[in-house]
């Protein structure tokens, strides 16, 4: 039985929701894509910035390009207070629960965008208490909070 379902998201467009209670550490869905060499991803203009959210680094030699319709996991939205993370395991990439998730909760992870001059192009609508208003990786969010003061 699938642990997720696709539904109209409260954050943005469609999202993935837990179809039942999921405990912390569970593999929820495979992040599917095509394995490409790092040389290929470096030469592809599609990935010509650090906001390539569908590109995952697998190791020194390979990346995973997840920018395909068959990759259902790409529908997962960013949140400033996520309940999932995406991590590689060999040449596969999985979405793991990093908290206990209740049935019907929306799944989310940190897109890991860096903080740069373009950050305002990526507003965040996650509405969590921790939301800083923009999609920026956790380690850089203090920069936005500092600006607000
Ligand atoms: Zn947010």
Measured in Å, residue 111 CA sits from the centre of ligand 1 at 11
pLDDT of residue 79: 96
Local structure of 64: helix, strand or coil:
strand
Local structure of 70: helix, strand or coil = coil
Q: pLDDT tens digits for the chain (149 residues)? A: 899 999 999 888 899 999 999 999 999 999 999 999 999 988 888 776 666 678 898 999 999 999 999 999 999 999 999 999 999 988 999 999 999 999 999 999 999 888 888 889 999 999 999 999 999 999 999 998 887 76
- Alpha-carbon distance values, 61 to 33, 41, 130 (Å): 16, 11, 36
Token pair for 12:
């943005």
CA proximity to 63, closest of 85, 38, 39: 38
CA of 63 to the centre of ligand 1 (A): 27
Of 113, 121, 126, residue with least CA distance to 15 = 126
- For residues 29-38, b (16+ Cβ closer than 10 Å) or e, as one string? bebebeebee
In the reported structure, the alpha carbon of residue 25 is separated from the centroid of ligand 1 by a whole-number distance in angstroms of: 23
CATH superfamily of 4-112: SET domain (2.170.270.10)
- Nearest alpha-carbon partner for 107 in 86, 138, 132: 86
Cα of 131 from ligand 1 centre, angstroms: 4
Helix and strand element counts for the chain (H, E): 2, 10
Q: What is the pTM of this model?
A: 0.90
Dist. CA 133–CA 74, nearest whole Å: 21
pLDDT the model gives residue 118: 85
Residues making up the chain, counted from first to last: 149
Domain chopping of the chain, boundaries: 4-112
pLDDT at 22 (0 to 100) = 98
Burial 59-93 (b: 16+ CB within 10 A, else e): eeebbbbbeeeebbbbbbbbbbebbbebeeeeeeb
């Amino acid at each position: 039985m699938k642990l997720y379902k696709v539904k109209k998201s409260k954050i943005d467009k469609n999202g993935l929701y837990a179809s039942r209670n999921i405990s912390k550490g569970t593999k929820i869905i495979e992040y599917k894509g095509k394995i490409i060499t790092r040389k290929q991803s470096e030469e592809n203009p599609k990935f010509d910035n650090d906001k390539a959210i569908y590109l995952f680094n697998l190791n020194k030699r390979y990346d995973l390009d997840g920018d395909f319709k068959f990759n259902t996991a790409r529908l997962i939205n960013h949140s400033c207070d996520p309940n999932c993370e995406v991590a590689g395991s060999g040449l596969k990439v999985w979405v793991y629960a990093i908290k206990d998730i209740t049935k019907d909760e929306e799944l989310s992870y940190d897109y890991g965008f860096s903080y740069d001059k373009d950050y305002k192009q990526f507003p965040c609508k996650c509405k969590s208490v921790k939301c800083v208003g923009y999609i920026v990786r956790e380690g850089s969010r203090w920069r936005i909070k500092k600006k607000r003061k």
